[in-house]
A = this chain, B = another copy of it.
Amino acid sequence: MTHMDLHPPSSVEELKASTRVLAFDIFGTVVDWHGSIMREVQTLYPTVDANAFALAWRAGYQPAMARVRSGELGWTRIDELHRLILETLLPQFGLTHLSEAERVHLNRVWHRLDAWSDSVAGLARLKKKYTICSLSNGNIGLLTHMAKRAGLPWDCVLSAEVFRAYKPDPATYLGVAQVFDLQAHAVMLCAAHHDDLQAARACGLRTAYIERPFEFGVSQLKAVSPQPGNDLHARDIHALADLLGC
């Protein structure tokens, strides 16, 4: 018996009635990390291959979190992990001349990511009916600065930092339900990543897949066809609001 037998996809009417909180993955789902980093790097360091730089920085992310999960590193915020990865990239991209202030500034690009064009208005629609929050491995300060700059209208910023665990640790998904005194199925994770959604579903959360075919840029298009198990599949956050009748 799999979790899909335990939690069969629900009717949309049932979902609308039972869902209270929409928790959003951030990097790639709500904001365009690849395009934002590429644009900054192109402006600041025009000789660098900005596409390769953005992809390499993001590719270091899972291995860096794995070092924390394994216990090799103690609890570490993503700001620090981004910096560790950045230090390994600078020699590869001919940027070892950067001063400490320049490195600090570049590392903070993750606080300055632009939202996808539908995110702000789509979230505002959803917020009228649901409690909307982030659920990201990004740290609270990063997510707060990002929201303030991009105008993301969160009711509440939730982060791995609150739960002292990274997704896909169940403590993060179940933590959202506990914060709001809800059963897991009253929380829906909205994300552009099937592994994140699958882990949430295994904890009893509802799930909505958001297509983001350009997450990795135009040179590396992402397959976004529907996969079984998700309660909803939406082209973007406006489409999610349409599906949920907001």
Contacts and interface: CB of A to CB of B under 8 A. Distances in A.
A179 interface: yes
A72 interface: no
Contact of A156 (B79, B131, B157, B179): B157
Interface string A148-161: 10000001111001
B155 A131 contact: no
Nearest to A139: B179
A192 B180 CA distance: 27
A162 B141 CA distance: 13
Interface in A136-183: 139-141, 143-145, 147-148, 155-158, 161-162, 179-181
Nearest to A178: B141
A155 B144 contact: yes
A95 B145 CA distance: 47
B181 A156 contact: no
Interface in A120-139: 131, 133, 139
Given A133-B144, A143-B156, A144-B180, 19 more contacts: A79-B181, A131-B144, A131-B145, A139-B179, A140-B156, A140-B162, A140-B179, A141-B179, A141-B180, A141-B181, A144-B155, A144-B156, A147-B155, A147-B156, A155-B157, A156-B157, A157-B157, A161-B162, A162-B162
